[in-house]
Structure 1
Amino acid sequence: LAVAQAPFVGFYGVWQGWPLYLLPFQAAFLLVHGAFEPLALWQWVYAIGYTAVLTGVSWWWAERQFEQFVVRRAGAPA
């Protein structure tokens, strides 16, 4: 639960550091934050790029799991 709150630590100024940018929550949080306040170009590139990469990896993983647990088992005898 504490990891999920880490981006808010940076937002409220309690701690600013590059490790926050390794968390997937930070990219989404920056996108929301950018809707209300201006962001630097590198923050936009990070937020959009990291979100796109994580979406691609999640899609790839989900497709593999679907193939393994649904498609292959559908043809297996009961």
Structure 2
Amino acid sequence: MMGSTGAERAAKCVFLAALCSVCQALQGGMLFPTESPSRELKDVSGLWRFRADLSPDRNRGFEQEWYKSPLAE
């Protein structure tokens, strides 16, 4: 049990590489939005209010132009 086989070493290397990738992603390395001339960042934090369109074809909101009036309480 002192030595490990090649397959065990390969599995450990794959696990270590995956762990490093996750750590890098959590530090903002991958898929982190950056502002550039072609990409503008928008802050959408805060409270949002939605009205669900439960019609069979999900089109009643557009047909009745719900977006033109305030949401009902």
The interval holding the TM-score normalised by the smaller chain is: 0.3 to 0.5
How does the TM-score come out when normalised to structure 1? 0.33
How does the TM-score come out when normalised to structure 2? 0.35
Greater fraction helix: 1
Query: Which has the higher relative contact order, 1 or 2, with Cα contacts under 8 A spaced 6 or more apart?
Result: 1
Q: Which has the larger radius of gyration?
A: 2
